[in-house]
Amino acid sequence: MKRNYEYSKLRGRIIEKLGSLKKYAELLGISDTALSNKLSNKVPFNQDEILRSMEKEVLDIEANEISYYFFTQKVG
Digit-by-digit pLDDT tens for the chain (76 residues) are: 678 999 999 999 999 999 999 999 999 999 999 999 999 999 999 999 999 999 999 999 999 999 999 999 998 7
Burial environment of residue 43 by CB neighbours within 10 A (0 to 12, 13 to 18, 19 or more):
middle
Residue type, 18: L
User: Is 0.85 topped by the overall pTM?
Assistant: yes
Task: Quote the pLDDT of residue 1.
Answer: 66
Say whether 2 sits in a helix, a strand or coil: coil
Task: Quote the pLDDT of residue 75.
Answer: 83
Tell me how far apart the terminal alpha carbons of the chain are, to the nearest angstrom: 15
